[in-house]
Amino acid sequence: MPELDGWLLDLFEDQNEGAVFYFISQDGRRVRLHQEFPIVFYALGTNSELRSLWRFLASQPRPPRLRRDTRYDVFSRRRETVLAIETSNAYTHRALFQRMLQFFPDLTYADVDIQLSLRFSAATGVFPTACCHVVFDENHKILQINTLDDAWSVAEPSIPLRVMRITPGDNPAHAEPRQLLIDMDGKTCQLDLKDERPLLVNFCALLKRFDPDLILTEWGDTWLLPRLIELSQKHGIHLALNREPHRDIRWQKERSFFSYGRVVYRGQQVQLFGRCHIDRRNASMWNEYELDGAMEACRVTSLPLQVSARTSPGTGISSIEVLTALREGILVPWQKQQAEMIKPAAELFSADQGGLVYQPQVGVHKHVAEIDFVSLYPAIMVNFNISPETILSDPTAPNVVPTLGIAIDDSQMGIVAKALKPLLTKRVSLKTQLSKLSPRDASYNSLSSRASALKWLLVTCFGYLGYKNARFGRIEAHQAVTAYGRELLLRAKEAAEEAGFEVLHLYVDALWVCKAGCEKPADFEELLCRIIEHTNIPIALDGVYRWVVFVPSRLNADRPVPNRYFGVFQDGSLKMRGIDARRHDTTPYIGQTQKHILEMLAEYAEPRDALPSVLRYLKMRLRKLRNGEVPLKDLLVKQRLGRKVEAYRTLPAAGRAARQLEAVGKRLEPGQRVVFLHMRGEPGVHAWDLPNPPDPRSVDWLYYQELMIRAASTVLQPWVGSEEKLRDLVLKETVQLSLPRMISRHPIIHSLPILAKPVLLPALKAENLVTIDC
């Protein structure tokens, strides 16, 4: 019998062969195998309902295999009698289920809409990219498959992928790219996009010669591959993007959805069979963790690489839970109908809260330690066994959740805790490894990306617990997590105060503390031990700040705002949250200025000493802005559209820019970013992706100046004072003119519109001014 040791690259359903698998063998061959893979799903209902369903299914032209069974249901907390229905493959399963829904819409169904890769991983332990041992027959049918790999091992994945990277020089939304830059494991070549036929012929030859396992593109989903496919049809040249010659490419439609308080846009997707395609610009978390992270997500979620790279961490965490349920024989609900428990109104006040967030003590603080709980919410779910089926509505039971009228059943581990435990352990191990490495180490970036992928899965697992449509979500479990979170943070605060520390700020899973005489990390070690003793959750010292500033509200300088701060750690590194340099919609020129000011402040033991050079620097940056010396690219603003352009009542700048694009036929969907410049006159913006370039003389530098002063003031306010004071300091060699009353021979005046309100201009000599009577 032929055997193979190698890695599973891709798997998908096939109407005739059941499931098709592509392997990379250890000797470098790419091998296609197949296997029949029956699909089992379940129906729940009364005995008579299940009997009628049985009769209905038995009378079908190709009846499925049927049996009575019992499976555990997390929401009823008991084993339920079910009718197990086994179909020969995924295609027959879907067709049969549609018919069942038509005739038996009221029954409860489970294990219905589960990806093949998850079912296969649950049945065999083999997940995409896993190293495995396969025995097959001469018809390439798999007889036996065993995994030699472990998704939870911290070792680096070993799959030897051949990666073809394709990059067009420009963003196709901005300007038509002229050539494609192709990199194949270090060998590069360029293809001219203008000559269509040679382009196709050469590209097909490259595909055939290099035979990539992964095509990694930029704008491949939304522009490149659709374009190449269109050209191949036009010129009648077969383009073998798939390794499966007879299959079409899998297209997924574009969509906009709401996630974490904002609208997200996902472009259409082009997925291949037998090899993977990832569009870096359309992969949701690519900027966070790149290929190493996508691979890590693929391994722990058991989703194929090209799917896991594109899906949100929410889908990832849901997959891990489904996988755990399949392995444990727990029913995976289809269209869950779960209502919130009945509770007294008073309890709603206690339950409907998030994490504990203090109002920080505004101002500069020295020698402050920032202490973070490590993955607090997932650790709570695992340590306190919080899961939909472990929540008891009996407040007299042991293990009552603090401040809530519910308790936790600790008799057996819940499905969510079971799913999260290995994930949490792996992340902590990777983080520990990472902390021992220098950032210059060759494996640092890969390890950091993998830890980041796990972090995002863990971050979303809490949200999914409270999401009513999540398969294993339950609002009471979600509320229990935040209740424990508040309790543990308060315990940490009490521990710190007992040890004589002043608590400057608390933010969900972190606290900022200081104490006279405590300046080095070692001075805080005893406190860390004390907090761990009080909470039983791992905690880490993020660092000791030389100084940290908690900034007040922009609208009211007497009011503190949480999570807006910046500071310098003892090693000179900066940390900032909530300020302009961290925001995605800040103009690069302004973000860079703010960051550089912070770096200048960090160079001095006493930040005040840096002020003269900081002010000189700021004046220089403002001068460059006024003189038009800043490249337009550095003044671009990127903002996400929150809705369709026609849905705005009053159009914000981003909406006006989107409307300009619409006028030239470039339509933007909610969640897409619009890039524009602020300009003088109507409509006040110029969309960057318009075919005509903006006139640099019309850039509204006064507006950019205001943004710059505001950003600089945020970080200089503790030492300089109010924004007005800073404005006086940096613009003091300018004079204020009231324009309708004065005209001048100064060149700038002629390029400015007539404004009713005063504007600030560079100093003018008296002889250049003429006062007129209005």
Which residue stretch of 223-231, 331-339, 346-354, 530-538 sits at the interface with other proteins (rule: CB under 8 A)? 346-354
Q: Would you count residue 138 as binding other proteins (CB under 8 A)?
A: no
List C-alpha distances in Å: 480 to 52, 348, 373, 401, 404.
Answer: 41, 12, 17, 6, 7
Q: Which is nearer to other proteins, 361 or 412 (CB)?
A: 361
Instruction: Give the Cα separation of 344 and 327 in Å (integer).
Output: 38
Pairing of strands 276-279, 214-217: parallel
Q: Which amino acid is at 208?
A: K
The torsion angle over the Cα atoms of residues 421, 424, 425 and 429, rounded to 10 degrees, is 170
Q: Minimum Å distance from CB 261 to other proteins? A: 5
Which residue stretch of 330-338, 343-351, 528-536, 638-646 sits at the interface with other proteins (rule: CB under 8 A)? 343-351
Contacts with other proteins, 249-268, as mask; x by CB under 8 A: -----------xx-------
Q: Residue 619 burial (CB < 10 Å; 0-12/13-18/19+)?
A: middle
Q: Minimum Å distance from CB 149 to other proteins? A: 38
Which residue stretch of 12-20, 205-213, 348-356, 509-517 sits at the interface with other proteins (rule: CB under 8 A)? 348-356
Q: Residue 168 burial (CB < 10 Å; 0-12/13-18/19+)?
A: buried
For residue 395, how far is the Cα from the chain centroid? 37
**Residue 55 corresponds to which tokens in the numbers above?**
């009769």
Q: Would you count residue 344 as binding other proteins (CB under 8 A)?
A: no
DSSP 319: H
Q: Would you count residue 349 as binding other proteins (CB under 8 A)?
A: yes
Which residue stretch of 72-80, 369-377, 553-561, 652-660 sits at the interface with other proteins (rule: CB under 8 A)? 553-561
Which residue stretch of 246-254, 350-358, 379-387, 569-577 sits at the interface with other proteins (rule: CB under 8 A)? 350-358
Q: Which is nearer to other proteins, 158 or 553 (CB)?
A: 553
Q: Which of 31, 201, 239, 357 binds other proteins (CB under 8 A)?
A: 357
Q: Residue 1 burial (CB < 10 Å; 0-12/13-18/19+)?
A: exposed
Q: Minimum Å distance from CB 354 to other proteins? A: 8
Which residue stretch of 24-32, 310-318, 355-363, 764-772 sits at the interface with other proteins (rule: CB under 8 A)? 355-363
Q: Which is nearer to other proteins, 304 or 485 (CB)?
A: 485
Q: Which is nearer to other proteins, 466 or 642 (CB)?
A: 466
Q: Could you say which residues in the range 359-398 bind other proteins, by CB under 8 A?
A: 359
Q: Which is nearer to other proteins, 351 or 675 (CB)?
A: 351
Q: Could you say which residues in the range 476-515 bind other proteins, by CB under 8 A?
A: 486, 490, 506
Q: Which of 106, 138, 558, 733 binds other proteins (CB under 8 A)?
A: 558
Q: Minimum Å distance from CB 672 to other proteins? A: 21
Which residue stretch of 309-317, 349-357, 405-413, 434-442 sits at the interface with other proteins (rule: CB under 8 A)? 349-357
Q: Which is nearer to other proteins, 353 or 433 (CB)?
A: 353
Q: Which of 242, 252, 268, 353 binds other proteins (CB under 8 A)?
A: 353
Q: Minimum Å distance from CB 506 to other proteins? A: 7
Which residue stretch of 190-198, 215-223, 353-361, 441-449 sits at the interface with other proteins (rule: CB under 8 A)? 353-361
Residues 6+ apart with CB under 8 A from 342: none
R_g of the chain, CA atoms, integer Å: 31
Q: Minimum Å distance from CB 350 to other proteins? A: 4
Q: How many residues bind other proteins (CB under 8 A)?
A: 23
Q: Which is nearer to other proteins, 362 or 391 (CB)?
A: 362
Q: Minimum Å distance from CB 760 to other proteins? A: 30
Q: Would you count residue 358 as binding other proteins (CB under 8 A)?
A: yes
Q: Could you say which residues in the range 313-332 bind other proteins, by CB under 8 A?
A: none
- Categorise residue 198: left if φ over 0, alpha if ψ from -120 to 50, beta otherwise: alpha
Q: Which is nearer to other proteins, 103 or 260 (CB)?
A: 260
Q: Would you count residue 27 as binding other proteins (CB under 8 A)?
A: no
Cβ proximity of 745 and 738 under 8 Å: no
Q: Which of 356, 401, 548, 579 binds other proteins (CB under 8 A)?
A: 356
Which residue stretch of 77-85, 424-432, 555-563, 689-697 sits at the interface with other proteins (rule: CB under 8 A)? 555-563
Q: Which of 137, 185, 192, 352 binds other proteins (CB under 8 A)?
A: 352
Which residue stretch of 211-219, 356-364, 650-658, 661-669 sits at the interface with other proteins (rule: CB under 8 A)? 356-364
Q: Which is nearer to other proteins, 1 or 346 (CB)?
A: 346
Q: Would you count residue 560 as binding other proteins (CB under 8 A)?
A: yes
Q: Which is nearer to other proteins, 354 or 631 (CB)?
A: 354
Instruction: Give the Cα separation of 136 and 27 in Å (integer).
Output: 17
Q: What angle do CA 765, 724, 712 make, to 5 degrees?
A: 100
Instruction: Give the Cα separation of 121 and 133 in Å (integer).
Output: 14
Phi, psi at 250, each rounded to 5°? -90, 120
Q: Residue 573 burial (CB < 10 Å; 0-12/13-18/19+)?
A: exposed
Q: Which is nearer to other proteins, 71 or 478 (CB)?
A: 478
Q: Could you say which residues in the range 400-439 bind other proteins, by CB under 8 A?
A: 403
Phi, psi at 77, each rounded to 5°? 60, 35
Q: Minimum Å distance from CB 502 to other proteins? A: 14
Q: Would you count residue 630 as binding other proteins (CB under 8 A)?
A: no
Instruction: Give the Cα separation of 274 and 172 in Å (integer).
Output: 28
User: How many CB atoms sit inside 10 A of residue 408's CB?
Assistant: 21
Residues 6+ apart with CB under 8 A from 669: 254, 256, 265, 641, 644
Q: Which residue from 354, 398, 400 is spatially nearest to 377, judged by alpha carbons?
A: 354
| Sign of the Cα pseudo-torsion (142, 143, 148, 152, in order) | positive
DSSP 611: H
Q: Minimum Å distance from CB 484 to other proteins? A: 14
**Residue 702 corresponds to which tokens in the numbers above?**
């006064």
Phi, psi at 321, each rounded to 5°? -65, -40
Q: Would you count residue 192 as binding other proteins (CB under 8 A)?
A: no
Q: Which amino acid is at 172?
A: P
For residue 77, how far is the Cα from the chain centroid? 33
Instruction: Give the Cα separation of 101 and 113 in Å (integer).
Output: 13
Q: Would you count residue 559 as binding other proteins (CB under 8 A)?
A: yes
Cis before 160? omega within 30: no
Contacts with other proteins, 143-172, as mask; x by CB under 8 A: ------------------------------
Instruction: Give the Cα separation of 206 and 87 in Å (integer).
Output: 41
Q: Which of 348, 647, 755, 763 binds other proteins (CB under 8 A)?
A: 348
Residues that bind other proteins (CB under 8 A): 260-261, 345-346, 348-350, 352-354, 356-359, 403, 466, 486, 490, 506, 556, 558-560
